[in-house]
Amino acid sequence: MKTRFKPKFNIKKGDSVVIIAGDDKDLKKPRKVLQVITDKNRILVEGANFVTKHTKPSAQNTKGGILKAEAPLAISNVMLWDSKSHSHTKITRTRNEEGKLVRTAKKSGEVIK
C-alpha cells in the first residue's frame, strides 16, 4: 500500500482483540496482539490463522518437515476487546486531564492502556 502518510490504527501490540471475520471468528474469545504490520494493514494475533509451512533440511534446521505457524490477518477483521463490558468495542480518542490523547472504549467509556 503506497500512501503519502503512515496509517494510524487503534490497535497496538499487546492489546486484547476478538476476531470478527474469517475462519477463526469468535466474538467471545479475546486474544493477544503479537505484532501490527502498518505498511500492509495486517495484524499478527496469538493462536489464530495457522498456516502449514513445508521446510527443507538446512544447516539451522537439520530435520526439515512441516511447521505450523501463525500468519498475519487483515486488521479490519479484528476489534478491540472491552474487559469491562465483556464484548468487542469501537475506539474513540479523547484527551485526559494532562492533555494527552488516550484511547477510550465507546461501549463502557473505559480508558484503554
The CA distances from residue 47 to 5, 70, 79, 92, in Å, are 31, 7, 16, 27
Within a domain: 74: yes
Residue 97 falls inside a structural domain: no
In a domain, 35, yes or no: yes
Q: Which domain holds residue 22?
A: 16-82
Nearest to 34 by CA among 6, 9, 53, 15: 15
Strands, DSSP E only, in 1-113?
Answer: 16-19, 26-37, 42-45, 50-55, 65-70, 73-74, 78-82, 87-89, 91-95, 101-105, 111-112
| 39-98 confidence digits (pLDDT tens) | 899 999 999 999 999 999 999 989 999 999 999 999 999 999 999 999 999 999 999 999
In a domain, 77, yes or no: yes
Query: What's this model's pTM, rounded to 2 decimal places?
Result: 0.83
Residue 110 lies in a domain: no
Q: Is residue 1 part of a domain?
A: no
With beta carbons less than 8 A apart as the criterion, state whether 49 and 70 touch.
Answer: yes
